[in-house]
Structure 1
């Protein structure tokens, strides 16, 4: 049965516009259809080869993926996170563990659910708006005004959780935040 449907489509292979007679047509011609099919087959072979290479590079990973209980070392290999990070998560009480002598074991489903949880909005810091250049110091201005080295200043900014604003090639910090740290009052515009 023949239809008179004419649909404007874009070929998935050559990206040219063409008129199709069915809603399922994906390619503009037999040549593009063949090339598209071959590229899909080629990509699946590449993906399969990459997967085999990954397995060959780390055969331990395939053994770990099927286990229900993991050691800290195995969990770090599986998730690509350091052992120390896992111990920090455990010490904060965010992950349940079992101890067998000196060995620490984690349930795989607990780790999967921990990393699949969306971030709680209360954990995220609210972003502060840029207060404007007149209400900010550059890093150099802070160093000169308070006689502090760059390393000590950056350490102080990081430790206090002060927001830095990058504008162009300069980093700015709000005057109020710096003045509070150094116990001075803001004298308006300087």
Structure 2
């Protein structure tokens, strides 16, 4: 594999410091930033999965709880996505009203909690809308035009197109790719 003379000014996606990238696909200024970014992504995915599992387990209970005016501390924790300790702290500071009917029978007013906090809702998944690309002479580059404009090897251009799933159209021996998508990738936007 040959070396490239490209020097592309970019911002690190993790630490947001400017650096000069040697390839078009470089995203981080160092291996350390790359590893930290991977760890952050894994942690965020685990947190989202944990919240989703908790919501799936308690979705039936949430529907039943929403019909009652007074609920237990554990039910309030599930409904509002907070710990029991937080609810007990709010009761102790008289920010929410509560009634103690005996051991493990503390009930809190749901309307007090609703006025302080919002109910945890399950967000609907967003659908991705794909726009249809128009392959006309003025709106497309050939592979050789891309490699000449950005001083990149045609093999590198092909791999970038495949990696980013850019739609292409082959006419005879030429492969065309939309200018707007190519410019976004190679300009670092």
TM-score under structure 2 length normalisation: 0.31
Structure having greater relative contact order (Cα 8 Å, sep ≥ 6): 2
Larger Rg over CA atoms: 1
What TM-score, normalized by structure 1, do the two folds share?
A: 0.31
